[in-house]
Structure formats: structure tokens, C-alpha cells
Structure 1
């Protein structure tokens, strides 16, 4: 094999290919894709630009916001495509949709194109926002299938980075465009599309064998992401108190990028051990004079999968049979069995009231802050706080629910109920308009919005549920109310 860095070095073409084709690099690539694919959570930053540039009233802006939420959550299209194509096709389609939708919005807002009709703006934002569902389906579902025994942790971690993407994107656009929020739309158009295109070959289904140190590696990535969230929280507070220069914005953005790419070190270290053990094993098997075996390191030894993660050897049953005769909870359901179950109805109602309400507040943070007399600079702070705590909510519920269920048999539906009740506190703070309460409300609403997603996905009926919930449940966005305070 060709050596890439000189004699004696382990950095060979073979090792590089081994890393790029590994399951753990798929996790890293998905983290990067998720980190820039939360454009729907930034609507509160640039919504005032749409409203003022195109002369919309609040009712029209609410209509545009509705189609944004509908596109961002109606994942059935990407789900159906994912059933018949490899993940890279789904990601490629999402990248094209993302660029087209948001680029057309940027042209309209900056006056570089003729003023579009309302239905055209709704179509543009629907296409751009629906690309997020393609990114979620292509990368997240692939990682869940690659790590079936750790799917709760994978869901919490990757969905957490989606929640954190709002704060990441605001930190990246400041050094590039200053405080020009119209240029943020252009950044949203090209950056997520570029990241998805770069990592297309690496997002794929890989035959998996669970390792003993698998959970430890995920916790290492979690600690790095917590450091990223902590840094973002600190820098946002500082930026809200002080006036940053372009150079200072560049410095903070560089540090954010370093923290985002930090999980790559964990991936390389893990795959180096695996690659080295593979080479040693190959050397032993090719040398008949050496009869002793070379054991794998303890952390690389495979372990048996739990019973629920093993493949069912029974013959598949048609999805049209036994629709109203589902198996026990926890066992695999067909799509129709899941859709027509009482569990699906309960989760649908919960998301309609819970996620629908919190998403309405997030979408209208710009208008709420303006109507309550907060300065314009604070609007970005509100959106960033929602983004950071959205991430913390997703990660906390993904990891904590797994621990509570395993150690204390604490049911996830009960935890979801507590999260919904806690979100009411944020809505009440907005309703009563207490001085400076919008900062606290942003934290509560962001945390509760994020915490609901892993709990929703993990309140499943077998392995079909993560896909069903990504494809069907988000129709709740049609039910969201309007905020009278913003009219």
C-alpha cells in the first residue's frame, strides 16, 4: 500500500480508507451534517427581514411560518425515498432542495429578484425546510441502523446537534457577514448543502458488531458536545454584554469549529486500534509457524446483542395482514399496525399540544421580543439560547431516559408528561410579560422542545417506530396556534 506520510508511519492509504469507511466516521459525518441543518430554528432571526422587505403583515408571516414547519417536519417523502434508495440519494436530494429553497428566499428578500407572490414564498420555504427532513432521514436513520443497541444514545446525540445548530450557525455568520441577518439566509442556503455533498460517500449502512467500549465512546463524544454547548453559552452572554469586532467574531468562530471537529480525534483513535488489531490478526493467520492466537483488546471484543436487537428469523408478514392484531409492545410492528394503534394516537395528541406549542413560541421569538420592547440584539440571543437548551434537552432526555429506564424502571411516557408540564412554565412567563422573563422562557421552551424528541422516538413499538415517527407524526405542525401578542 502506498504510504502517505513516509516510511514507518501508520498513516497509510489503507488506514485512511479504513477510517473513512468505518461506522464511527459515519457518526462523525452525521454530527457535521446535523450541526448545520437546523435552519428552521433560525426563522426567528430573519423573519423580520421577510416581513419588512416583502411588506407582509403578521398573518401572512404566520402563513409562511406554517409552511416552514410543515416542510421541516413532513418527513414522509424522504422516508419513502429512503426505503428504495441508499442514504446518499436522500442526502443529495436534500442538499439540492436546501440550496434552491433558501437561495430563492435570499434573492427575494435582498431585492435581487422580483417580489414573489405569497404562495411562491410558501413554496420556497417549504422546499428549503423539507430538506432538513431529508438530512435527518439520510443520516440519523442510517446511524440508528448501524448502532441498533445504542439507538437511544444515537438519537439523543445527533438530534442534540440539530438543536445546537442554530447557535452554531449564528456564530459562523457573524464573522462572515457581521450583523446583516439577510446574509444569514444565504449562509443557510449554501453551507448545509455543501456539507451534505462532501460527506455523501461516507453515510451508508455498515454491518455492525457491538463493541464493549461502544457506550464509552458515545459518552466521550457527549462530553465534547457539552463543552461546545458550554462555550456557546458563555460567548453568547459575552456578546450580548459587549460589542464584538470582526476579528473577535472570527476567533470565537474558529474555536467553535475546533470543538465541532474534535470528535474526529476519538474516531481516529478508535479505528487505529481496530485497524492495528486487524493487521496483527492477519499476520498471525498468514504465518503457519505461529500457533499462538493474538487476542483483541478488551474494548474491541464484540459482545452479544440483547434479545430485542437480534434479527427475527421468522418470515416477514405482509403489512396489510393483522393490521388490528398487533404484537406485544416492544416487538416489531408493521407500518399499518403502528399507525392504527392507540399508542400512535396518544403520541400524536401529545406532540400536537406539546411540540406544537413550543415550536410556535420559537418561531415567533423575534416578534414576541419586539412587541415586549427587547432590543434587536437580544433577538439573536433568544434564538441562540433556545438552540443551546434545545440541544441540552435532546441529549439529556436521550441519555437520562436510558439510564432511568435501565436502573430504576422509570417509564418514558411519564418522563414525557413531566417535560410537557414543565414547558407550561415557559409559556406562562411569556403570557404574563414579566421583565426579562423572555430569557428564562427561551431556556425553558428550548429545553422542553428538545427533550420531547428523543422521548417521542424512544416511546416506540419495536424498531419500525423511529421511521414512523419521522415520517408521519410531524403533521401536528398544522395544528399550531397564532400568538395574539404579535399581531
Structure 2
């Protein structure tokens, strides 16, 4: 029997313990930092090539197996959607499956590279596929959960999380250069152990929060802090890449460099502490228990405002959900599929063949430098393609699909740069290619969620990921490997290496032509969905405004409850004060008329009378404040209705 699929949960489940969605967001960022290790293939591909005496086409085939594994998310998507009703166990179980696959895959690759076992070529393909497919489980379990938690900020959330994934290769390359270079075999063991431990720990804090959570600070501040963390990491990685290109690091320099790398993650880890705490609290649970439990006497006109409204307490899905079958029958799906597929394939062509391109252009520079440059630009592309389209949608009413046209055109430019690359300018072409490639990874899931809805996002997005998986073979392996070996034949090169600037020229010119086709399909998608996006923009703005007002109303509601408690206390004080004044006046000589009273006693009576007058004035001010809240119940009812 399939797990429950409904988002409407029983009250007893709703009120159980959930980690804050900000803690889930931070934990997801660390998981995503371990979900892009396929980008480090360029570091250990030469080791496998030498150990097994593989041709360039075979090396590219292993890279393609990793790419297909890294994009074939259909199994992870189906599993996640199957467990969608289990808000805690579902996302965590998805990640745990990935941990097992990751550890087994990379440990087997280490054993094969070390010489402990001898694998046939097909087994190398299968194990690489297994190791890299784990990252789709990491990504699905963490990213889709965060999108559901922050459904009105989905573009920004996707961009930040995808940016961490884009930094993954550079982050772990820093560890490799600091302690292991040039021992790529030990690097494979490190990839098996360290990321598995990090992901397993962080997965315990991943859950979907099925209600509107208390937001004590504006979300924008938290997202700005997360963006600052990503930019700081990217800038640091860029500096380290340039520094290690000019001079190496000793052991203690590597320790310092790696420690600084980890320290830069602290702001991301501090977000849940700064913005709402570790535990999720429902919007209705803002009052302290003693105020909630006390029977408070309030004016009748405020009672509707204080009533619970569970029907409006769940996040609202403002998009029309489409099943995977309906997506496959949609022209919009295939436009998005083609653009994402061919442009991602162009980016993977460079990534999978970085080491061979450096050798073909004359060598002399560490491949790790260009892998880091590509990874950093990849990160920035993901971040910008998530954050900027969100801003443009809210401020300029610009559909997110416009960014797809821009990224397709940028991929075309990147392919031309790669086709006519020179070693001294290869860093520039790697950066442009990485940025365009990362941009697609950030913008495609956001567009998919807006066009096809959130309910089946995991499966629908995994279907879109089949495109890059196919093109990683067609473009990055078959075309690149075949045309590379033809160039070797023309040059009459000996050995397994092609030398010359034209070794990869033909494949990138073909990719440039495909990118022009992507510009066309992206434009068609924009025209087809611009009316939909006008509604999406309108409803998103309304939903954000509604939630912001609901937060303000909730604060007002809690303020009234506290004032009601203070009102009750003040009445008690007044009653006690009147009694005390009466006692004092009765005890005064002259029967309480003040005649013959001592000056000190008379002064005390006057002071107490003044206090009571002030208390009465405070009560009158509170009553006036209650009257000013008279319109709020209807206003709130109109917004939530």
C-alpha cells in the first residue's frame, strides 16, 4: 500500500515535533555540497585511464556513465513522491538510500584504482553510474523538501542549494590539493568516507514542515546571509585556485586552507539559530503557555480575531499540478527538455574532457585549476539563475523563462570560445561554460515547478533530467570521443593523446549549433507560457503579501491576548487599590475627610490616588486600542477567504 499522499494531516501529527524549516535548509545546503562529486571526475580519470590502459573514447564513456547516473533521477523522484505523505521519514529515507549507493560506489572505484580488484570495463561503467546516481537521491531528498518548505521563494532556494552543489567539486578539490595531490587513488577513498558521514549526519535534520511556521525575522535577511556564504566560498575558492597555480602548499598551509574553507560555512549553519531556532513552531503557538491557558476577558468584538483558523494554516499550492503523463504530452515540457538537454550536454563536454583539452592545448597547467574555475563559475551560475529571476519576477514582472533564453545564448558563446580556445585563455572559456551550465541547473527546476506544479515535482523534474543524461553520452562521449580520435588520425599522433587546438574544435562547433536550437525552443517556451507567468507573478505577489499580513495579524492577535491578561491583572490591582484607599481613609482622623491627618499619611493617600488614576487612564487607553482593532477580524477573514 502506498503511503498517504494528502497534505492535510491529522491534528495530532500536525502538532508533533518538526525541525525548523531553516534548519532543514541549512542541512540541505551541506548535503548538496556533497552532491556534485561527479564534477571531480577530471581529477581521477587519468588514473583509471593509466591503470586500465583505456582509450579516450573509453575514458569519456566512464565519464558519461557518471553523468547519466548523476542525471537519472527518475528512481529517486518516484521514491520521494511515493513517500511524500511521510514528512520526516520520506525525505530522510531518500537521502539514506543515496548514502549507501555513494559509499559502495566510491569504495569499489578506490579498490579498482588501487589494484585490489580487477574490474572489466562494463563493471567500471556500472560502478561509476552507481556512485554518481547517489547524488540524485541526495538532491531529491534535500532540495525538493526545501522547495516545499519555501514554496513562494522557490527560485531563491533552488539557486542557493544548487550553488552549493556547484561548489562541491571545487570544495573537495581543495582538500585533494592540500593533502593528497597527486595521489588520486587516496582521493577516491576520501570521497567514499567523508561525504557519506556528512550527508548521513545532516539527513537527520531534513523534514517537511506541514504548516505555516513562525517567522520572527524577514526571510530576505536569511537568504541574503546564505547568498553571502556562497559568494564568500566561491571567492575563496577562486583565490585558492590562483594561488595553487602559482605555487604549492606545504602540509600546514593545506591545513590552514582547509580550515578556512570549513569556517566559511559557519554563517550557513547559524541561520536556523538566528532565524527562529532549531525547532519548528506553528504560527498559532507564539504565546507563552501561561497566556494561552489563562481565561482572558476581552471585548466581544475581538473574539473572532482570536479564534483559531486551522483551514488557513497550511501552505497554499498556488500552481496547477500536472501528472508525469500529462507533462509528457505537453509541448512546454519538450521545449524545456530540449533546451536543458543540449546546453547541459555542451557544458558536460568540457567538464568530462578537461584533462584531455589541457593536454591538447599544450599542458603545463594543473587540470585541478580549471576544474576549480569551472566549479566556481558553475556555482555562481546556479546562484544567479535562482536569485535574479525571482527578483525580476517580483520587481519587473519578467517571466523566469526569459533567463532560459539568455542562458541558451550564453552557451552558444561558450561553445565558440571552447572551439577556438588557447591555453592562456582557457580559464575564461571554462568560466563562461561553467556559468551557463550552472544557470540551467538552477533555473530548470524552478520553471518546472511553476509550469507543472509541486505535487509531482520530484518525478517531473527527474524526467527532465533524462535529457542531460542522454546528451552527456551523445555530445560529451560519442561525438567528443569520435571526433577526437579522427583528429589524432589526421595528426598521426602516437599514443593515446591528441595534440593540437583542433582536437575538440569540431564537437564544440556542433554544440554551438545545438545551442542556437536551444535559443529557439526557449523563445517558443517563453511565448507559450507568458500568459501563465502573468498569473503566476500576480498570484505569487498576492500570496507573499497575504502571508506577510497574516504574520502581522498574528502578532496583533498575540498582543491582544497579552493585553487582555494585563487588563485582568490591572482590574485586580484597581480593586485592591480601592480597598486600600478605603482602609487608609477610614483610619485617618476625622472620619476619612482628611481633617487632622498627618502630612505623611495624607501624602501617601494622595500618591495612591494618583496611581489609581494613572491605572484608570491606562485601562482607557487599552479600551481605545481594542476599538482600533475592531476592523481586523473582517479584514483577516477577507484575506484568508
| TM-score normalised to structure 2 length | 0.65
Distance 2:48 2:256 in 1: 30
CA contact (8 A) 2:105 2:127 kept: yes
- 1:283 corresponding residue in structure 2: 290
Query: 2:160 maps to which residue?
Result: 157
The question of whether the paired residues in 1 share the 8 Å contact of 2:148 and 2:208 is answered with: yes
Contact 2:29/2:164 (8 A) holds in 1:
yes
Report if aligned partners of 1:32, 1:195 keep a CA contact under 8 Å in 2.
yes
Q: Post-superposition shift, 1:148?
A: 1.2
Aligned residues: 440
Could you say what secondary structure the match of 2:288 adopts?
helix
Question: Shift of the alpha carbon at 1:289?
Answer: 7.6
- Alpha-carbon separation, structure 2, partners of 1:463 and 1:91: 19
Three-state SS of the structure 1 residue aligned to 2:322 is: coil
Q: 1:137 corresponds to which residue?
A: 140
Displacement, 1:188?
1.5
Within 1, Cα distance between the matches of 2:458 and 2:58?
Answer: 33
Q: Helix, strand or coil: the match of 1:199?
A: helix
User: Using a 3 Å threshold, how does the CA distance of structure 1 residues 218 and 160 change in structure 2: closer, same or farther?
Assistant: same
CA distance in 2 between counterparts of 1:253 and 1:236 reads: 13
1:83: which partner in 2? 81
For the pair 1:386 / 2:374, whether they are aligned, the reply is yes
1:294-352 CA distances to partner (integer Å, 9 max, x unpaired)?
A: xxxxxxxx9x99x9x6247xxxxxxxxxxxxxxxxx52222211121001111111122
The aligned counterpart of 2:176 is: 173
User: Which whole-Å CA distance do the structure 2 matches of 1:343 and 1:126 have between them?
Assistant: 29
1:215 to 209, 220, 225: 220
Is residue 71–residue 466 contact of structure 2 (8 Å, CA) maintained in 1? yes
Q: For residues 225 and 43 of structure 2, what CA distance do their matches in structure 1 show?
A: 32
Say if 2:20 and 2:278, in contact at 8 Å, map to a contact too: no
Residues 160 and 393, structure 1, Cα contact 8 Å, conserved in 2: yes
Give the superposition deviation at 1:169.
Answer: 0.6
Instruction: Please state if 1:333 is matched with 2:337.
Output: no
Does the 8 A contact of 1:284 with 1:290 survive in 2? Answer: no
Given that 2:233 and 2:261 are in contact with CA atoms closer than 8 Å, whether structure 1 keeps it comes out as: yes
Q: Which moved more, 1:196-205 or 1:118-127?
A: 196-205
Q: Classify 1:84/1:332 alpha carbon distance in 2 versus 1 (closer, same or farther; 3 Å).
A: closer
Rg bigger for which structure?
2
Structure 2 unaligned regions, length at least 5? 1-15, 84-89, 300-308, 485-496, 499-641
Give the match's secondary structure for 1:472.
Answer: helix
Alpha-carbon spacing, 1:100–1:254, altered in 2? closer, same or farther (3 Å): same
What is aligned with 2:462? 471
Q: CA deviation at 1:83?
A: 2.1
The 5 Å alignment of 1:174-193 reads 174-193=177-196
Partner of 1:60: 58
User: What are the Cα deviations for residues 259-313 of structure 1, in whole angstroms up to 9, with x where unaligned?
Assistant: 1232122211223498999686223224558989xxxxxxxxx9x99x9x6247x
Q: Distance in 2 between matches of 1:270 and 1:129?
A: 34
Given candidates 117, 126, 148, the residue that maps to 2:151 is 148
The 5 A counterparts of 1:65-464 are 65-85=63-83, 86-113=90-117, 115-209=118-212, 211=215, 213-272=218-277, 281-287=288-294, 310-311=316-317, 331-377=320-366, 379-460=367-448, 461=451, 462-464=453-455
Q: Is the partner of 2:264 in helix, strand or coil? A: helix
CA RMSD of aligned residues (A): 2.7
Asked if structure 1 preserves the Cα contact closer than 8 Å seen for 2:24 and 2:207, the reply is yes
Q: Is the 8 A contact 2:35 2:136 kept in 1?
A: no
Q: 1:240·1:381 contact (CA, 8 Å) conserved in 2?
A: yes
Contact 1:40 1:129 in 2 (8 A): yes
Q: Does the CA-based 8 Å contact 1:137-1:470 persist in structure 2?
A: no
C-alpha distance after superposition, 1:41-78 (max 9, x if no partner): 11111111111111111111121112111111000011
**In structure 1, C-alpha distance between the alignment counterparts of 2:278 and 2:69, rounded to whole Å:** 42
